Amino acid sequence: MHVERTFTVPQSPEVVFDYLSDFSHTDEWDPGTVETRRTSGDGGVGTTYANTSEFMGRKVDLTYTTTEHDRPRRVQFRGENKSATTQDTMTFSPAAGGGTEIHYRADFDFGAIINVVAPLVVGPKLKKLADETVEQIKRSLP
């Protein structure tokens, strides 16, 4: 299951990349994040983060790892715990009228059994969260 959004912000791709590629900023731009802190690395590939998020009234801890870091074009994070895997991919390109076009995609794997019912139960809530995330990113960018 996945959600994705494409939107434009007035900041340059470099500014947008530098902010969003530091996953510890999810405290500011991801409405579901309770806390994220860097646990190792310099921000590039292999950097890890401890993340606590709340979704549907339940707190979840995940360890995120930066799996791609191509400034200022693309960044990808993989989140894991014993029951779920996520992958967040963001690409950045200059927008025609200035600023940056951001394409954000979040993929979720909850395991075979839950993946069957997740689109019905979780899907609408994830879509709403994705819309809120876009608005929060726009407000949070420096």
Which of these, 30, 34, 88, 78, lies nearest to 58 by C-alpha position? 34
Check residue 121 and give its pLDDT: 53
The pLDDT profile of the chain, 142 residues, written as one tens digit per residue, is 788 999 999 999 999 999 999 999 999 999 989 999 999 999 999 999 999 998 767 898 999 999 999 999 999 999 999 888 999 999 999 999 999 999 999 998 876 545 444 554 566 677 887 889 999 999 999 9
* Token pair 């991919």: residue: 89
Q: What is the H or E stretch that residue 129 is in?
A: helix 123-140
Phi, psi of 24 (to 5 degrees): -65, -15
Q: Facing residues of 56 across strands?
A: none
Domains defined along the chain, listed by start: 2-140 (3.30.530.20)
